[in-house]
Amino acid sequence: MLTMLEEALAQLDQVAALIKLEEGVHKRLRRAQRALIVSVPTRMDDGRVEVFEGYRVQHDNSFGPTKGGIRYHPDVNLDEVTALAMLMTWKCALMGLPYGGAKGGVRCTPTAMSQGELERMTRRFTSEIVLIIGPDLDIPAPDVYTNEQTMAWMMDTYSMQRGITVPGVVTGKPVLLGGSLGRRESTGRGVAFVTADAARELRIGLAGATVAVQGKGNVGGVAARLLHEAGCRVVGLSDSKGGIYNSKGLDISRVLRHLQEGGRFADLPDGDTITNAELLALPVDILIPAALEGAIHEGNADRIRAKLIVEGANGPTAAAADRILEGKGTRVVPDILANAGGVTVSYFEWVQDLQFYFWREEEINQRLKELMAAAFRRVWDYAAEQKVSMRLAAMSLAVKRVAEAHRVRGLYP
Ligand code: NAD
């Protein structure tokens, strides 16, 4: 199996051949612009000092500051963070945002840590990367197992070191501290928008369409709820331990409330418990992988029965699986388009922070809808025109844009 970075590079190489990317730019874009590895010594509640390893990788800053989430997970490593930073470059370019891509993370087991331990680790990690972040330099945001509270600690730590309050250093903050209305739901909302767009093109009626969602977190949970509200029948939902299935559809708000209150899928009377492998193979119209990368691989792709896959997660489909799905005629809306709602509203948040002037939620959701619809249209039309997958189309449009910026700016010195 390829690593996530090998997958990302193979994808870039394929696109480079397709768009005849200039060799020097291609070589440059295969690498990160900057990568920082840091030690994060943290006092644990029992008095011990644990030393975690953290990363911040900036892939390309041709359009402006770099942007990307911070992940806390036991599998975080430089390879993964670099691949995710690269994906962020393509995502921002595809959406036409004035950003390059970055990503960060700390290898830890956040679910086994107390709030105090998480706060001390976050503050030390922020101090260690303080040299390369800032509102005009590199702007972190939440990702897997980080949230608004994590961003509040990062903002406070950065601000304390600067001696002034700098809300624009991170996005995905609490609204009280300069966060944007609508940011919490923006990735899932964007997933729901492009799902509706793709369903319309594929003539899958959204009302009554069956949907399975892997991951009930910030992305999956919100997408499931909004699609349920839009009239879809969300029949399956899961988390890292497994999920639930009911062919008649789940009452998503009720299920999410139960989980938020600490309940388990197994305690719900709403349906049958299923494994994640079973969830991916459900007989549904639409499948939304919204957990971690690599969920759909060579070993399970042929069991997928959905007509449409909308990638809520980053990198959920391995290249080998992509080929199997294409062979079966399954449409895949790629991550850099499908989950771009998060970085788009992060951009809105940053703009609001820089101006200290805040917008109404309807305005934010409307602007998000417009940008997502326009990006969907560009990708859909380019894929049809070039007779390629939506992934290749989205990547081609993004890489072309970045390459053009490199060409026009020229090579320094
Ligand atoms: P989250 O921490 O809120 O939720 C992650 C979900 O995945 C949880 O329900 C967890 O139980 C589940 N999960 C973890 N390991 C799993 C496994 N092995 N099998 C099945 N499920 C598993 O994270 P999130 O913010 O919802 O992020 C999910 C994905 O979306 C990630 O790939 C992330 O990079 C991507 N993403 C997030 C955002 C954002 O704004 N949060 C934006 C773009 C992309």
Instruction: Specify whether 248 is catalytic.
Output: no
- The whole-number pLDDT of residue 189 equals 98
Mean pLDDT by 10 residues, the chain (413 residues): 93 97 98 98 98 98 98 98 98 98 98 98 98 98 96 98 98 98 97 98 97 97 98 97 97 96 93 97 98 96 98 95 96 98 98 98 98 98 97 98 98 97
pLDDT at 1: 82
Which residue puts its alpha carbon closest to atom 37 of ligand 1?
143
As given in the structure block, the two tokens for residue 252 are: 């998503």
CA gyration radius, the chain: 20
DSSP characters for 122-145?
A: HHHHHHHHGGG-BTTTEEEEE-TT
Segments of 44-155 assigned E as strands: 49-60, 66-73, 100-107, 138-142
Q: Report the atom number in ligand 1 closest to the C-alpha of 145.
A: 2
Residue nearest to atom 36 of ligand 1 (CA): 313
Instruction: Report how far residue 125's alpha carbon sits from residue 349's, in angstroms, rounded to the nearest whole number.
Output: 23
CATH topology of domain 186-338: Rossmann fold (3.40.50)
- Mutation pick for ligand 1 pocket among 86, 106, 143 (CB with most ligand atoms within 8 Å): 143
CATH fold match for the domains 33-164 and 186-338? yes
CATH-assigned architecture of domain 33-164:
3-Layer(aba) Sandwich (3.40)
pLDDT in tens, 106-140: 999 999 999 999 999 999 999 999 999 999 999 99
* CA distances from residue 112 to 102, 117, 293, 329 in whole angstroms, order as listed: 27, 10, 22, 42
**Is 314 near ligand 1, meaning CB less than 6 Å away?**
yes
The pair of structure tokens assigned to 242 is: 């497994």
List phi, psi (to 5°) of 378.
-60, -45
Domain limits, the chain? 33-164, 186-338
DSSP 142-193: E-TT--HHHHHHHHHHHHHHHTS--GGG-SS--GGGTPPTTHHHHHHHHHHH
Do 58 and 32 form a contact (C-beta atoms < 8 A)?
yes
Q: Residue 105 C-alpha to ligand 1 middle, in angstroms? A: 14
Residues 6+ apart with CB under 8 A from 398: 89, 90, 91, 93, 94, 336
- Answer for the pair 19, 61: CB distance below 8 angstroms, yes or no: no
- 314 C-alpha to ligand 1 centroid (Å): 9
pLDDT reported for residue 27: 98
CB 70 within 8 A of CB 154: yes
Please identify which residue in the block is written with the tokens 């990307």.
Answer: 68
Phi and psi, residue 203, nearest 5°: 55, 40
- Per-residue pLDDT reduced to its tens digit, 232-256: 999 999 999 999 999 999 999 999 9
Residue of the CA atom closest to atom 31 of ligand 1: 313
Strand 286-289 versus strand 210-214 pairing type: parallel
For residue 39 the two structure tokens come to 């030690």
Q: What is the DSSP string of 370-395?
A: HHHHHHHHHHHHHHHHHT--HHHHHH
Q: 144, 180, 278: which to mutate for ligand 1, most atoms within 8 A of CB?
A: 144
Q: Report the pLDDT value the prediction gives residue 411, as an integer from 0 to 100.
A: 97
Confidence (pLDDT) at 315: 94
